Amino acid sequence: MSHAPMPRPPEPSTARVVEVRVAPVPLDRLTPLLAPERVGELGRHVAAVRRLLGGRTVWNINSTARGGGVAEMLHGLVAYAAGAGLTVRWLTVGGGPEFFAVTKRLHNRLHGSPGDGGALDAAARATYDATLAAQEQQVLDLVQPGDVVLLHDPQTAGLAQVLRRRGVWVVWRCHVGVDEHDQWTREAWAFLRDLVEPAHACVFSREQFAPDWVDRRWLRIIPPSLDPFSPKNVGLGAEEIDALVHREEMVVEGGPVPSRDARVVLQVSRWDRLKDMGGVLDAFSRHLDALPSDVHLVLAGPETTGVADDPEAVEVLAACREQWQSLPAAARERSHLLSVPMDDLDENARTINALQRWATVGIQKSLAEGFGLTVTEPMWKGRPVVASAVGGIRDQVEDGVCGLLLDDPRDGEALVGALASLLADPERCERMGRAAHLRVRDHYLADRHLIQYAELFGQLLESGEA
Ligand code: UDP
């Protein structure tokens, strides 16, 4: 008889609930960017949901306050919702390395990739359950019956049942997925199904990501959004941009980011295999001759100690560095690996912002992508993007209008070809950059996102008792 190994208990120091405090921001900060009818619509929805919520709190629960798209978005949305007079709070759950190894495995498999190859078996489930069970009471001490809870991603799905039993409205918000389900996605969904099913409603970024057992009456498609006034996206002066992109401490391979007489193409990503930073570097060095000689590649990601729920990062960055070191000198001279410090989050965001403004073209060669704020961000800054035609990137980038899409994310030659064609035609680049900015303004700002949540909460609260 075989015994599943006993899971080690989660590390007490990390497995605890922490509240992330966000200062409210008045909603009318967005007003100058929006057409008057959009402002009116937002005001009406917010007033309606405020009335329906009465004294209730809307909670967000995820697993990190920094690094990655979910944390990025929550900072903005929580601030605006609080500024609109709603009571919105944000909690993070913690976990030991074993918990995050399991949730990263789920994350990878929901993207159709085996990840670390480990099993999603009874032992994995026991680790997962034990970590959340240890934090359940802390959540229940805060959340009251009748409140609304948004649980983000697989890391928190396991809280749905206990919250529902407590008479709380539970929405599971999944930020990841692939269009075509396969053995890996099916395995992840088999793990998650009974954890997710107690939720009253599910939110996905794309319809195709939702497995067929999700109740369509309570499935909502809500794509992410960015905050134009956050440190990540706010306008920066030329001198500040110059200083930020040349912060010396962040260069891990290659010389400093070149000065203005060269042009930069940039991919910003967490050090995650599915973002394929290595694939970008490989394509760039192999097809260097296809690009004008003033073009440099910059790959920028967070310092690898900075993102608590991302155990792959150290390995992926190390592999990229090794790869860089083995490149011919000509490619090394024109490629730069940056690891952007995470100790000061505002400074990190401003640095990414500056890099995105410094770049002529944004790249996102992801092999799978739930949405890809790293596509939205350069678009907002008026940069065209060259990106894989996968997941949420397909919704954002109109091919040939705001950038160029790559049908095969693994085709490095096509990537460089697309970059070369844009870089050869600065006017087209500018035109596409303008279209990219308008696309974000019209589809991916916080007002649309808040309205969609307000609608869902209204429908839930009017549907009966939690
Ligand atoms: N990001 C950052 N610093 C970095 C790398 C990434 O702040 O060094 C941010 C990036 O600007 C974006 C988010 O992390 O806002 C990544 O979100 P995305 O939706 O692209 O992908 P995810 O990381 O959630 O898979």
In a domain, 11, yes or no: no
Q: Which atom of ligand 1 is nearest to the CA of 72?
A: 15
Q: What is the number of structural domains in the chain?
A: 2
The verdict on the CB of residue 348 being under 6 Å from ligand 1 is yes
Report CA(69)–ligand 1 centroid distance (Å): 5
pTM equals 0.94
Instruction: Evaluate: CB of 147 within 6 angstroms of ligand 1.
Output: no
Asked if pLDDT for residue 9 goes beyond 60, the answer is: no
**Is 233 within a domain?**
no
Looking at ligand 1, which residue's alpha carbon is closest to its atom 24? 69
Q: Ligand 1: which of 352, 375, 379 to mutate, most ligand atoms within 8 Å of CB? A: 352
Residue 71 C-alpha to ligand 1 middle, in angstroms? 9
Q: Is the pLDDT of residue 329 over 50?
A: yes
- CA-nearest residue for atom 17, ligand 1, is 69
177 Cβ inside 6 Å of ligand 1:
no
Whether residue 215 is found in the same domain as residue 244: no
What's the CA-to-centroid distance between 356 and ligand 1, angstroms? 12
Q: Predicted confidence band at 15 (pLDDT cuts at 50, 70, 90)?
A: confident
Residues 339 and 406 in one domain: yes
Q: For 398-409, what is each residue's pLDDT tens digit?
A: 999 999 999 999
Q: Which of 441, 448, 443 is nearest to 46 (CA)?
A: 448
**Which tokens go with 323?**
């790869």
> Are 306 and 429 within one domain?
yes
> What percentage of the chain carries pLDDT values higher than 70?
96
Half-sphere exposure of 94 (CA within 13 A, CB side): 15
Query: Which pLDDT does position 292 carry in this prediction?
Result: 97
DSSP H/E element including 396: helix 391-396
Q: CA nearest 154: which of 225, 103, 226?
A: 103
Q: Is residue 1 part of a domain?
A: no
Tell me the best of 62, 64, 72, 103 to mutate to test the pocket of ligand 1, counting ligand atoms within 8 Å of each CB and taking the most.
72
Q: Is the CB of residue 302 below 6 angstroms from any atom belonging to ligand 1?
A: yes
- The reported pLDDT for the residue numbered 389 is 98
Q: Same domain, yes or no, for 283 and 142?
A: no
Alpha carbon 401 to chain centroid, angstroms: 23
State in Å: Cα 379 to ligand 1 middle: 14
The verdict on the CB of residue 384 being under 6 Å from ligand 1 is no
Q: What is the pLDDT of residue 306?
A: 64
The pLDDT-based confidence of 340 (bands split at 50, 70, 90) is very high
Q: Ligand 1 in contact with 352 (CB < 6 A)?
A: yes
Q: Is residue 231 part of a domain?
A: no
Does residue 313 belong to any structural domain of this protein? yes
Look up tokens 């749905």; give the residue.
160
Residues 381 and 452 in one domain: no
Alpha-carbon distance of 233 to 27, in angstroms, equals: 17
Domain that holds residue 396: 238-443
Evaluate whether residue 8 is within a structural domain: no
Domain assignment present for residue 5? The answer is no
Q: Is the CB of 230 under 6 A from ligand 1?
A: no
Q: Are residues 244 and 202 in the same domain?
A: no
Quote the pLDDT of residue 17: 97
Residue 249 domain flag: yes
> Hey, what's the torsion of the CAs at 355, 357, 361, 366, to 10 degrees?
50
Ligand 1 contact, 373 CB (< 6 A):
yes
**Residues 89 and 193 grouped into a single domain:** yes
Q: Residues 289, 214: one domain?
A: no
In a shared domain, residues 368 and 308: yes
DSSP string, 148-160: EEEEEHHHHHTTH
Q: Are 263 and 358 in contact (CB under 8 A)?
A: no
Q: Are strands 148-152 and 169-174 parallel, antiparallel or unpaired?
A: parallel
CA angle in degrees (0–180, nearest 5) for 313-318-324: 130
Contact between 409 and 372 under an 8 Å Cβ cutoff? The reply is no
- Determine whether the shortest distance from the Cβ of 362 to ligand 1 is under 6 A: no
What pLDDT score was predicted for residue 408? 98
Closest residue to atom 14 of ligand 1, CA basis: 68
State phi, psi for 445 to the nearest 5 degrees: -105, 170
- What CATH number corresponds to the domain at position 294? 3.40.50.2000
Q: Ligand 1, residue 274: give the atom nearest the CA.
A: 25
Looking at the fold, whether 124 and 245 belong to one and the same domain comes out as: no
Alpha-carbon span 116 to 61, nearest angstrom:
26
248-289 pLDDT tens trace: 999 999 999 999 999 999 999 999 999 999 999 999 999 999
For 217, residues 6+ apart whose C-beta sits below 8 A from its C-beta are none
Note the pLDDT of residue 305.
81
- Looking at the structure, do residues 289 and 163 belong to the same domain, yes or no? no
Residues 384 and 453 in one domain: no
- Residue 67: pLDDT band by 50, 70, 90 thresholds? confident
Mean pLDDT of the chain: 95
385 lines ligand 1 (CB under 6 A): no
Strand 251-253 and strand 335-340: the pairing is antiparallel
Ligand 1 mean position, distance from CA 383 (Å): 17
